Amino acid sequence: MVRIKHKRSKCIGCGYCEHLDSLMWQMDNSDGKANLIGSHQINNIFYVDIPDSELVYLKRVISICPVNVITIDK
Ligand code: SF4
């Protein structure tokens, strides 16, 4: 398992993550930022665990986010 970490407050709303992986990411019309689907929030950071088999998609999303707010939690 891999844990995704999303610093949502720093998201600039470009929509690239949703474009690449709409099963994990969805833009929120209420504030224009991305939601990490199925995540839980701890101290203003959003987390979700995914199987290793989805890591290839996650790495694409991580590399395309222009403000580097998506990381793998170690
Ligand atoms: S790619 Fe990054 S900045 Fe763009 S919407 Fe997704 S999380 Fe936000």
Position 74 scores a pLDDT of 72
Nearest CA to ligand 1 atom 2: 65
**Is the Cβ atom of 32 under 6 angstroms away from ligand 1?**
no
Position 52 scores a pLDDT of 92
Q: Is 66 exposed, middle or buried (0-12, 13-18, 19+ CB in 10 A)?
A: exposed
Position 50 scores a pLDDT of 94
Q: For 3-58, how does the pLDDT look when each residue is reduced to its tens digit (9 = 90+)?
A: 999 999 999 999 999 999 999 999 999 999 999 999 999 999 999 999 999 999 99
Please list the residues that pair with 45 across neighbouring strands. Answer: 42
Q: State how many domains the chain has.
A: 1
Q: For 56-74, how does the pLDDT look when each residue is reduced to its tens digit (9 = 90+)?
A: 999 999 999 999 999 998 7
Task: Give the DSSP letter of residue 52.
Answer: G
Task: Give the DSSP letter of residue 71.
Answer: E
Q: Domain residues for 48? A: 2-73
**Is the Cβ atom of 36 under 6 angstroms away from ligand 1?**
no
Backbone angles phi, psi at 39, to 5 degrees: -80, 165
Distance 26 CA to ligand 1 centre (A): 10
Q: What is the CATH number of the domain that holds 59?
A: 3.30.70.20
Position 18 scores a pLDDT of 98
